[in-house]
Amino acid sequence: MNQVELKIRRKALTPFYRILKVLSEEELTITQIELKARVNHKTAVSNLILLKEARIVHETSLGRVKMYKLNKDNEKVQILIKLLSSWP
CATH number at residue 54: 1.10.10.10
* Contacts for 43 with CB less than 8 Å, ≥ 6 apart: 15
- What is the mean pLDDT of the segment spanning 35-59? 93
Tell me whether residue 39 is exposed, middle or buried, using C-beta atoms within 10 angstroms of its C-beta: 0 to 12, 13 to 18, 19 or more: buried
Are 55 and 13 in contact, with CB atoms under 8 Å apart? no
| 8 half-sphere exposure, CB direction, 13 A CA radius | 5
Find the domain containing 34 and state its range: 3-86
Q: Is 2 left (phi over 0), alpha (psi -120 to 50) or beta?
A: beta
Tens digit of pLDDT for each residue in 6-37?
555 556 568 888 899 899 889 999 999 999 99
Average pLDDT of the chain is: 86
pTM: 0.77
What's the number of domains the chain is made of? 1
